Amino acid sequence: MNDQQFPKDDLGGSVPELFIRDIEFLNSHINHDKWMWFKNFDIIDSQRVEDDFTYYVTGDFWTGVLTGGSGSIAVSDAVNGHIVLTTHTDATDAAEIYQTNETWRLYNNHPLYFEARVKVTVGLTDLFYVGMGNANGEYAVGFADGVYFKSDGDGNLDFAVENNTVVTSTDTGIDLENLTWLRLAFHWDGSGTIRWFVFDDDQVCLATGSVTSGFAQDEEFGLAAGIKTPGSATALYVDYIKCVAKRYVA
């Protein structure tokens, strides 16, 4: 296995990540221990979702909601497939997608990994979020609990956890730029720590950190993303969203 892969499984917490970016089989000896580790990716052992947005049907896996004016939610003709959430110009306008059912939870001893590739039209002023929460959109209804990346329109990318409407935000130190892709990820280790990551498109980790409190473990979440107008029409582009968690067996 390439030691330079990221996230690595020695970055904090007692349970290794259930994620691997690429497996170099020709350079690896698949012994019993490695095979058991790879086995965690099988559907028998994990719940997983990967949406590359080659199509979008509201009310299926995703529900789309437009708040305020005449925004839009649509998959573009771009290579790879991007879902584009576009707002109108009124003060309350927002465009969001959220998972129709809440199927994720931060269980002890059940690691979870989330990642999305996103960009915004105007990095300095856009208000957006991407991650998971337990309500029908952060702007339309408002999360009570969640784990997500966001920007409040100040140009800074924050990582936030929310518990009973109390939000704890951490500035990632990353300044958003216009139409610049970022890969945003977080990993729940199943043992009290959520570690967040910001990658660029060269797979370089631009920033990372961790939180050990302020998040809810007693609520189910759905995946979600959205953008709210800063006073002019704007858009959030999502190339893909993926999430995997160790399967919970009651």
Instruction: Indicate which CATH number applies to the domain containing 182.
Output: 2.60.120.200
H or E element, residue 195:
strand 194-199
Flag whether 9 is in a domain.
no
The reported pTM is: 0.85
Task: Give me the domain span that covers residue 181.
Answer: 25-246
- Domains of the chain: total: 1
H or E element, residue 238:
strand 235-246
CA atoms within 13 A on the CB side of 231: 3
Flag whether 83 is in a domain.
yes
Written as one string, the DSSP assignment of 162-189 is EETTEEEEEEEEEEP-TT--EEEEEEE-
pLDDT in tens, 11-66: 445 555 444 444 444 334 444 455 555 555 677 788 889 999 999 998 899 999 99
Flag whether 42 is in a domain.
yes
Flag whether 11 is in a domain.
no
Flag whether 16 is in a domain.
no
pLDDT surpassing 90 at residue 68 = no
